[in-house]
Structure formats: structure tokens, C-alpha cells
Amino acid sequence: MARIAYQKFEDHSLVFWGLLALNAVVVLAGLGAAFYMEHNGHIVTGMTNQIVWGMPHVFAVFLIIAASGALNVASIASVFNRQQYKPYARLSALLAIALLVGGLAVLVLDLGRPDRLIVAMTTYNFKSIFAWNIYLYIGFLAIVVTYLFVMMDRRASRPVRLGKSVGGVAFVWRLVLTTGTGSIFGWLVAREAYNTAIMAPLFIAASLLFGLAFTVLVLVILGPQMRQDLLTDEMVGRFRGLLAIFSLTVLYFTAVHHLTRIYASEYHGIERFLLLDGGAYTTVFWLGQIVIGSLLPLAILALPGFGRTRSAITIASLLFLLGGLAQIYVIIIGGQAYPLTLFPGMHATSSFYDGAIAWYAPSLPEIFLGLSGISIAMLLTGIAIKVLPFLPRPVLSETAG
């Protein structure tokens, strides 16, 4: 098998620089939105006392779980010794770091009082899953940076066992990280839409899908700008199969989640709300997540002939990501919109909207702040590939470059 040399992005492509400039503008808009919300208070957003996690949290959680899944390509290459994936290992790790930084940036800027982050960093409540996740996120960044160093430094990469060991630690850590993120909702007993152990495997499956979709889109966009195919025909087929498997896995866990709760009488109210009577949330679930974000891209990938092309996996990857945003929106926003059960078996009403369905419409600043997280990730990725050799270049030599 041909050895792999890695290269920087050295072409002076107007499309590439245009995309970098566009992402920079979105980042500036996100910073402006964060300043506007901090200066005027969250009253200028769509968030209320009932829905305290708004659109920025949707983007943040989406990016965090995508970061975990983006590392999957590198894990397949090192941990499972699949050499076909090795050319994309460096980019995989880079995307994992960039997506996590983008997600965490949105979270920090959405705190309302970013200075309170100092309290979170100096005072820990180990009974809180949020405190656990601080360690998981920081640990993930440190491990993936070490993983990248081992892959990119010739002396460090010579001991094969070292690379596999670090890759193994990164593989396990990302599973724990995604489990921790899913457990934020799985262990939240106050909300009926959450409070279920299946959130952890559901988030793991979703991370694999979102991370691979981001990886495919980056490779497809960069290929024409470099005047070469970064994705071989073999890898197009492999990524196509993985996207289909991951999407079907997400659908499976989603079905098990809802069917299990439909079986239990105590959850009939929340299930009827999300699946039938939830208005916008029901529409986002069925049309956004199931039809546009799952069934349609699966149908595209299954088309004879066209389903095996680069165009097919590009369109499918984009639809999977849109469906992922819809899925996280329904989980986070829809789960908060349904009223809390303050007194089980009784009907509660008050002037504080107890027992009432909460209304939420994301404001423009929230949307800009959320989109800026994606742009931060893409901007970091674009700068990194210009400075360091992350992109593959096949050569017929006996030593890796």
C-alpha cells in the first residue's frame, strides 16, 4: 500500500479565502450578539424562566457531540488498524479539537455573566454532571493535542505502540465525553422528556454521524480547491456505508427511546406533546429530524449509481447535519417547553406559568451566536491547514512523510 505524505493547503484559492472571510464575519457577528445580550440582559432573547437553554445551547451541544464523532476516523486508523483511514487521521483530530472549541465558546458566551466562569473553574460540585463535564472537555482537548503530536512528530510516531496507546486513550475518552454530555439530560430527573439512560448511547450514535458528516464536507470542499481528489473512490464507498449505518443507529435509538416511554403511562403526556400535539416541536421532529435529516439522505445514498458519488455523500452529509440540529432542538427546547410535574397526580396552575406549555422563539442574536460556533470551528480548521500539514497526499515512497 502507498505510503501517505501530508501537505499544507498552499493553493491561493479565492473560494477558500472567501469561505474564511465569511466565517470570520459570522464570528464577529456572534461576538457582537454576545455583547448585545450581555449588555441588555437575556430579556432581548427568546429565553424565559421556563426555557433557560435556548438556541445557543442547541448549537453548543451539537458541536460538542460532533467533536467526539469527528475523531472516529483517526480512531479507526490507529485503534482498529484500518490503513485506508490513515490519510485522514490528522484532519480528523484537528476537526475534533476545532468543533469542541467552537461549542465551548458558544457556551461561555451564552452564560450571561462570562466572568462567572471563574467560579466554575475554582469551585467544584462533584455531585453535578456539569462539573464532571468540565474535566471531560479539558481532558479531551489535552489528549487529542497529544494524539496529534504523536501522529505528526517523526520521533514520537516511530514507536507504533505509543501511537496505538494514545489513540486508544483518545478513543475511550471520547466515548466517556459523549456519555457525559448525554447524561446531562439522562440524569435530569425534573424534566420528563429527559431522565432516561438511553440518552447516553443515543448521543454516542449521533456523535458518530455528525462528526463523520463534518469530515466528509470538509474533504469535499477542499478537494476542488487543491485540484485533487482528497476522497478516493474506495473511501467514498466506505464513508457512504458508515453514514448509512450511523444514521440507522440514531433512528433505532430514537425509536426505542420513544416506544419505551409510550409504554409507560406516566410519560404519555410528554410523548403526545412531542410526537402529536407539540406544534413547532412536532413539526421539527417529524419533518426536520426524521424526514429531511434521516429518511431523505438515506434514500439519496441508496439510489443506484448516484448514491455512490461524491455529490450524493455531500448532500447526504449536509442533510444529516441539518437533521442533527433538529434533533438537538427537539431534545433541548422541546423538553423544556413541556411543563414540570410539580405535584404528581395533580394539576397545577399559577401566574408563574406552572402547568402551562412554554413558548419560545429564538431571537436573531441567539442564532448568530450559535452559528458563530460553527464558524469558529471552520476558521480554526482553515488556519490550521494553511500552517501545518494536515491534508493527505499519496506518494509511492517507502517512508511516510
Domain of residue 142, residue span:
4-246+362-392
393, β-bridge pairs:
5
Segment 84-94 mean pLDDT: 91
Q: Is residue 91 in some structural domain?
A: yes
pTM confidence score? 0.90
Residue 352: count other Cβ atoms within 10 Å of its Cβ. 10
Residue 341 in domain? no
b/e map 61-95, b = 16+ CB within 10 Å: bbbbbbbbbbbbbbbbbbbeeeeebbbbbbbbbbb
Q: What was the pLDDT predicted at 152?
A: 83
The rounded distance, in Å, linking the Cα atoms of 234 and 217 is 17
pLDDT range class, residue 113, cuts 50, 70, 90: low
Would residue 52 count as lying in a domain?
Answer: yes
CATH code of 59's domain: 1.20.1630.10
Least confident of 73-82, 183-192, 201-210: 183-192
Residue 159 within a domain: yes
Classify 350 in phi/psi space as left (phi over 0), alpha (psi -120 to 50) or beta.
Answer: beta
Q: What is the pLDDT of residue 398?
A: 38
Q: How far is CA 146 from CA 79, 141, 204, 298, in A?
A: 15, 9, 23, 36
Which of 75-89, 305-319, 358-372 is least confident? 75-89
- Determine which of 32-36, 126-130, 133-137 has the lowest per-residue pLDDT on average: 126-130
C-alpha cell at 136: 471531560
Any domain includes 60: yes
What is the arithmetic mean of pLDDT over 367-385? 95
- Please answer whether residues 269 and 344 qualify as being in contact, where contact means their C-beta atoms are separated by less than 8 angstroms: no
CB 151 within 8 A of CB 132: no
For 232, other C-beta atoms within 10 Å of its C-beta total 13
* 283 CB neighbour count, 10 Å cutoff: 12
Q: Considering just the CA atoms, what is the radius of gyration of the chain in Å?
A: 22
pLDDT exceeds 60 at position 394: no
* Predicted local confidence at residue 88, as pLDDT: 92
Structural domain total, the chain: 1
* 79 within a domain of the structure (yes/no): yes
Q: Is residue 222 part of a domain?
A: yes
Domain for residue 387, yes or no? yes
